[in-house]
Amino acid sequence: MIFQVNHMRKVRAELISRVTTTLLSLAEDGKVDSAILPHLHVLLEWIQYRSNFRKTAMVRKSLKNGQPSPSVEIAIDLRQVDEDSLPRILEAAAAEAASHALVPSRVVLEPFGPMRSSMIWEFNKLYWQHRIEWEKATGKGYENALPSGSSDGHNPDAIGDQVAKFYDLVADMDDRGQLPERLYVMEFGVGSGERAHRWLELFLQSDRSRGTTYYARIRFLLCDYSMEALEGALELLGPHREVAEPREVDAMDPFRALSDLRYKVLYVHLTNVYDNLPTDDAVLRDGRIYLIEVRSYLDQADVDDLCRDYALDAETFPDAVRSLLERGPHALDDPEAGVRFWMALWGKLQLEERMVTVDSLSDASLPSGLKSSHLEELVTSGPGTVRFQLSSGAVGSFAGTIPLLHPRGYLEVMDIFVTELTQYRGGFKGPGKMDGSVVNWVNGALLAEVGRQAGYDVHFKPFTYRPGSRTSILYTTHRES
């Protein structure tokens, strides 16, 4: 049995000691199958997100060539540990680790598959499609759920510096005779449109105060997959809508909708978009790679409660979930009850995980846009044992955005990034739940490698405009030859 502590928080040492001694005592008492002990990896971590998809103890079994493998993991969230119930929880986890049978107290909603294909992303899409109904039910907007109570993307000092940086670029290009007739600026995930409005207002002020006429040449592209969001953002822009253009775009495949702008965009901005896109996870352990597969489930007791509260049939409960994902709150006759059902279901939804052994990265089923060469350098230089994100959606979005950049253009992304693989040794990085959406940290080290191989420079700087902010700023430009 191997114990690994994977957090950097100030947690009482006696709590970690209690977990380890309890497991060892269970093993000595014969309550842990001795056959799994040589293959058992116990991971002690602190789940950052209070609302997440995890129980106190999660069992991760493993497969190799489609068959069960001896390697098994018990991941324990120290945040959730209750010392009185700890022996019972660990004994149940050890029994699950030794068994090949389904856990009878769970109602499984989907088969095992890559995390990027999980049902949780359908719930994520449901939230953004019906965010207004969710906010009406909770009485608060999405930004109120953020740790700071507002988006770092709306910080006025940050926006002011972003405008100044872009203005300086335009002025320099003008001095050099390089300025195109149309100045394309692009923002993905426009939300309410508040940031776009502030940016355009400040740029117009700078333009007027310096006696230039660059504003009239701006074409500000508002990009989102929700037409409702785009219409609301346009309305908020007021007089600036004259220089704006809405584009319905899938953030994970932007080039498909924007290929007409190849090499034309001078500035692309995103705030907290990558952390809300699908991801996959991988584990590096003892020189071997495992890919994580997941499936969504609810405890039977929670299903029973939901069926009682919303007059649903337990036999067809999975069909009710599917109807909710397809039709939204109107899946129930009473849409207000439909929102309450959705919120209660989301709060109880959990993920079961398993690890699938990968013999060779070149043979692995990697997400679109990700190549084995992107991972080889990270894996070679990474720590011996680490779980990390493949950030599938972010990689696709990044790879589909950089071809749009003008030779002097740049991509600016404000998000929560892991910039070195070793940082994953400091704690769990998601997925977590943020209201009705999914949130993950983003593997910035992987994005930097994807950019490097495509001929772009990627670097990061901290977001210094709010004390304690976890946001970093990624900048991407064409590599100078």
Domains, the chain, ordered by start: 1-101 (3.30.2410), 144-278+369-478 (3.40.50.150)
Mean pLDDT of 44-53: 90
pLDDT at 149: 59
Asked if pLDDT for residue 359 goes beyond 90, the answer is: no
pLDDT at 481: 66
pLDDT at 147: 58
The residue with greater pLDDT, 13 or 314, is 314
Q: What is the pLDDT of residues 33-44, one digit of tens each?
A: 999 999 999 999
- Least confident range of 6-15, 115-124, 151-160: 6-15
Distances (CA, A) of 255 to 49, 204, 367, 440: 33, 29, 17, 23
Assigned token pair, 238: 């007021």
- For the chain, what percent of residues have pLDDT higher than 90? 77
pLDDT at 129: 87
Q: What is the pLDDT of residues 225-252, one digit of tens each?
A: 888 889 999 999 999 999 999 999 999 9
pLDDT at 146: 61
pLDDT at 142: 60
pLDDT at 8: 66
pLDDT at 88: 95
Look at residue 11 and give its three-state secondary structure. Answer: coil
Mean pLDDT of 66-83: 92
Mean pLDDT of 132-138: 91
User: Residue 104 and residue 80: Cα distance in Å, rounded?
Assistant: 23
Asked if pLDDT for residue 11 goes beyond 70, the answer is: no
Look at residue 330 and give its three-state secondary structure. Answer: helix
The residue with greater pLDDT, 136 or 385, is 136
The residue with greater pLDDT, 143 or 257, is 257
Band (470; pLDDT cuts 50, 70, 90): very high
pLDDT at 144: 61
- Least confident range of 5-19, 99-113, 166-180: 5-19
| Cis, peptide link before residue 431, omega less than 30° from 0 | yes
* CA-angle at 103, arms to 93 and 331, nearest 5°: 120
Q: Which amino acid is at 12?
A: R
pLDDT at 140: 76
Assigned token pair, 74: 């018990």
Reference 281, options 419, 398, 374, 392; nearest CA is 392
Q: Terminal CA-to-CA distance of the chain, rounded, Å?
A: 52
Query: What contacts 34, CB < 8 A, 6 or more positions away?
Result: 27
Residues 321/107, Cβ–Cβ less than 8 Å: no
pLDDT at 49: 87
pLDDT at 55: 94
Band (145; pLDDT cuts 50, 70, 90): low
Query: What contacts 300, CB < 8 A, 6 or more positions away?
Result: 104, 105, 106, 107
The residue with greater pLDDT, 348 or 145, is 348
Band (58; pLDDT cuts 50, 70, 90): very high
Band (196; pLDDT cuts 50, 70, 90): very high
* Helical (H) or strand (E) element with 372: helix 372-381
Q: Which amino acid is at 341?
A: F
pTM: 0.93
Reference 277, options 413, 377, 406; nearest CA is 413
Band (102; pLDDT cuts 50, 70, 90): confident
User: Residue 195 and residue 470: Cα distance in Å, rounded?
Assistant: 19
Asked if pLDDT for residue 376 goes beyond 90, the answer is: no
